[in-house]
A and B are shown apart, each in its own frame.
Chain A
Amino acid sequence: MDPDKDNANPTIINPSDLPTRRRQSDNISSIKRRTDGGTGLFDGLIPAIARSSHAYDPFAAPLPVDSDASSPSSSDFGDDDVLEEIDEQEIYDLIAPISDPEHPLTLGSLAVVNLPDIHIVPPASTASRISTVRVLITPTITHCSLATVIGLGVRVRLEQALPPRFRIDVRIKEGTHSTADQVNKQLGDKERVAAALENGTLMGVIRKMLEGCDNVNE
Chain B
Amino acid sequence: MSDVELYIFNYDKDKEEAAKAAKNTARRLVEKDVKLLSLIESIGQYLNSDEAAKRTKALSYLAEVLEALPPKTLTGQQRNLLCDFLVSRIADESETLPICARALLALDDLGPWETEKSVTMMTNILENTHPLSQYKLQSQRYPVLNLIDRLLAKYRKVLHELHDASQEFMSRFVSYFDAEKDPRNLMLVFSILLVPMTEWDIHSHAQELFDAVFNYFPITFRPPPNDPYGITAQDLKDRLRHCIAASADLAPYAFPALLDKLDSTSMNTKRDVLQALSSCVENYGPHTISLYSVTLWDALKFEVLQVQDDDLAQEALSGLTNIATQLSKGSTGALTVYLKPIAKEANEHLEDAPTKQSQAAAQILENISASSTASSNFIFGAVLPTLFALYGSADTTAKRRGLIEVLNGLIRANLRVYGEWRSIDTRESLVTDNSDQQTLNSLSTFSSQVLDVLLQGLHSTPIKEVSYRLVALDTLANLTKARNILNDEDVSRVISLLDDIVLNEESYGNDDVKTAAMNSLVSVAQQKPQLIIDKAFPTFMAKLPDSDRNDTVEYVGILEAFAQMSKEPKVFQTIMVRLRNKLYDAIKLQASPQFIQAVLAAMIFAVKQNPTALVGTSTECSYYEELVRPLIQMATSAISSSPLTDPGVVELIGKLSNAVIQQQNLEFQASTTGHLPYGLWGGTESELFPSFAPNASPQQVQLLLISTHLLAALRRDIEIRPEYQELLTNLKRVVQSSQTSSIVKQTAVQQISLVINKFVPRDKLSFVVDLTPSSLRESENITSANNDDFRIAFAATKGLLLRNAPVVTEMVQRLLEALSATSAGLTAARGFAMFLQPDELLTKENYCVISPLYRQKLFQLATSTITTQFPSASSAVKRNYLIALSGILRYLPYTVIEPQLSPLTPLLLQMLDLSGETDVKAAAIDILITVLVQQPEPLEEHASSVISRLLNATTADSNPPNVRSRALHCLALVPKKLKTEVVIPFRRQVVKRLTEALDDRKRAVRIEAVKCRSQWIELDEAGDDEE
Contacts and interface: CB of A to CB of B under 8 A. Distances in A.
* A-B complex is real: yes
Interface of A: 9, 11-12, 14-17, 20, 22-24, 26, 28-30, 34-39, 41-42, 45-47, 49-51, 54-55, 57-61, 63, 65-68, 71, 73-74, 76-78, 80, 82-84, 86, 90, 93-94, 160-165, 203, 207, 210, 213-216, 218
Given A28-B1004, A77-B1002, A160-B1013, A16 B467 contact: yes
Contacts of B891: none
B1017 A160 contact: yes
A216 B919 contact: no
Given A41-B564, A58-B833, A214-B1011, 19 more contacts: A12-B354, A16-B470, A17-B465, A35-B553, A41-B605, A49-B647, A50-B593, A54-B743, A59-B794, A59-B830, A73-B919, A74-B918, A80-B1001, A86-B1006, A161-B1010, A207-B1018, A210-B1014, A214-B1010, A214-B1015
Contacts of A203: 1021
A49 B706 CA distance: 13
A37 B787 contact: no
B639 interface: no
B404 to A, nearest CB: 12
Given A16-B467, A16-B512, A77-B961, A49 B1003 contact: no
A162 B998 contact: yes
A91 to B, nearest CB: 11
B995 interface: yes
A197 B52 CA distance: 79
Interface string B987-1018: 00000000110110111111100111111011
Contacts of A22: 509-510
A76 B929 CA distance: 20
Contacts of A26: 1003
A23 B510 CA distance: 7
A15 B470 CA distance: 12
Contacts of A45: 601, 604-605, 652, 655
Given A14-B401, A14-B467, A216-B973, A42 B560 contact: yes
Given A16-B470, A60-B742, A90-B1006, A207 B1021 contact: yes
Nearest to B557: A37
Interface residues of B, number: 85
Interface in B527-564: 553-554, 556-557, 559-560, 563-564
B651 interface: yes
B806 interface: no
Contacts of A35: 553
Contacts, number: 187
Interface of B: 354-356, 398, 401, 465-467, 470, 507, 509-510, 512, 515, 553-554, 556-557, 559-560, 563-564, 593, 597-598, 601-602, 604-605, 646-649, 651-652, 655, 742-743, 746, 787-788, 790-791, 794, 827, 830-831, 833-834, 916, 918-919, 922, 929, 933, 956, 960-963, 965, 969, 972-973, 976, 995-996, 998-999, 1001-1007, 1010-1015, 1017-1018, 1021
Given A49-B647, A77-B1004, A216-B976, A39 B830 contact: no
B961 A80 contact: yes
A218 B969 CA distance: 9
A77 to B, nearest CB: 4
Given A59-B827, A94-B1010, A83 B1001 contact: yes
Contacts of A84: 1001-1003
Nearest to A57: B746
Contact of B1015 (A55, A66, A86, A216): A216
Give the secondary structure class of A's interface: loop
Given A47-B651, A73-B962, A38 B1002 contact: no
Contact of A9 (B355, B962, B972, B998): B355
A214 B1010 CA distance: 8
Contacts of A30: 1004
Nearest to B1007: A93
Contact of A59 (B560, B787, B933, B1010): B787
B466 A68 contact: no
B837 to A, nearest CB: 9
B652 A214 contact: no
A163 B995 contact: yes
Nearest to B933: A218
Closest 4 A/B residue pairs (Cβ)? A50-B648, A14-B467, A163-B999, A38-B556
A84 to B, nearest CB: 5
A21 to B, nearest CB: 9
Nearest to B402: A14
Given A49-B647, A58-B833, A83-B1001, A74 B962 contact: yes
Given A90-B1006, A160-B1014, A207-B1018, A20 B510 contact: yes
B601 A42 contact: yes
Nearest to B926: A73
A16 B466 CA distance: 6
A59 B466 contact: no
A59 B745 CA distance: 10
A61 B962 contact: no
Contact of B999 (A11, A68, A94, A165): A165
A213 B560 contact: no
Nearest to B746: A57
Contacts of A16: 466-467, 470, 512
Contacts of B655: 45, 47
Contacts of A73: 919, 922, 962
Residue from the set A45, A55, A162 with the largest chain B CB neighbour count within 10 Å = A45
A160 B994 CA distance: 10
B1002 A80 contact: yes
Contacts of B509: 20, 22
13 contacts: A38-B560, A42-B559, A42-B560, A49-B743, A50-B652, A59-B827, A60-B742, A77-B965, A77-B1002, A77-B1004, A80-B960, A162-B998, A216-B1011
